[in-house]
């Protein structure tokens, strides 16, 4: 699906000392910000699926990040209790968009989340964020499960989207 050999970036787990770079990307790309301890908790608990994209030509320069947490809840596809990989945040710095960086981060991190033993992947996305919705729906097969009214602080609604692990259409190579 994605040829990492020819890509301009490497996708790899985030290092603890890179958290400030991740926070900077978050603060310049998304209205949802978190305190530093929040990032620290995620990297401590789920280090394998907290990933960054580093530019090959500028080692140490990060273009994007993705982070997940694991939780239990009612299945989006039934009534049973399941283990979910919940996408906490994904952002690509503006100059590096439409180069499949988000796709590559999602693919690689979802395989790590799968290894945590989850049954489903879930996420929230602004209903106006058509680019991200297309990414989740068309590239990965996420389904819109429901609308969460006023999910965001500014009052915008979110789509709650989910994908069964069994419906992942790629494997570790």
Ligand X SMILES: CC(C)(COP(=O)(O)OP(=O)(O)OC[C@H]1O[C@@H](n2cnc3c(N)ncnc32)[C@H](O)[C@@H]1OP(=O)(O)O)[C@@H](O)C(=O)NCCC(=O)NCCS
CA–CA dist 63, 132 (Å, integer): 17
Question: What is the rounded distance in angstroms from the CA atom of residue 12 to the CA atom of residue 65?
Answer: 10
Strand segments, DSSP code E, in the chain are 9-13, 51-55, 62-74, 81-92, 120-126, 143-148, 158-164
CB of 148 to ligand X, least distance (A): 13
Least Cβ distance, residue 160 to ligand X (angstroms): 11
Residue among 46 and 65 whose Cβ is closer to ligand X: 65
Q: Which is nearer to ligand X, 43 or 104 (CB)?
A: 104
Cβ proximity to ligand X: between 97 and 144 the closer is 97
Distance separating alpha carbons of residues 107 and 90, to the nearest angstrom:
12
**Nearer to ligand X (CB atom), residue 92 or residue 162:** 92
CB 101 within 8 A of CB 83: no
Q: Can you tell me which residue has the tokens 């609604």?
A: 157
> What does the binding site for ligand X look like in residue numbers (CB under 6 A)?
29-30, 90-92, 97-103, 125, 129, 131-132, 134-135, 138-139
Measured from the CB of residue 75, what is the shortest distance to ligand X in angstroms? 21
Among 146, 142, 122, smallest CA distance to 133 is for 142
In angstroms, what is the minimal distance from the CB of 29 to ligand X? 5
With CB atoms as reference, the residue minimizing the distance to ligand X is: 131
């Amino acid at each position: 699906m994605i040829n990492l050999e020819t890509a301009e970036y490497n996708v790899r787990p985030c290092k603890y000392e890179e958290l400030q770079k991740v926070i900077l990307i978050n603060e310049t790309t998304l209205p949802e910000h978190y305190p530093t301890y929040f990032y620290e908790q995620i990297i401590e608990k789920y280090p394998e699926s907290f990933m960054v994209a580093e530019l090959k030509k500028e080692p140490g320069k990060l273009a994007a990040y993705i982070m997940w947490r694991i939780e239990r809840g009612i299945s989006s596809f039934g009534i049973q209790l399941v283990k979910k990989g919940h996408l906490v945040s994904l952002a690509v710095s503006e100059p590096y968009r439409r180069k499949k960086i988000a796709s590559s981060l999602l693919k690689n991190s979802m395989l790590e989340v799968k290894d945590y033993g989850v049954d489903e992947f879930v996420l929230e996305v602004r209903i106006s964020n058509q680019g991200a919705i297309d990414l989740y729906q068309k590239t990965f097969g996420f389904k819109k499960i429901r609308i969460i009214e006023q999910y965001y602080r500014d009052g915008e609604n979110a789509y709650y989207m989910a994908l069964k692990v069994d419906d992942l259409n790629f494997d570790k190579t």
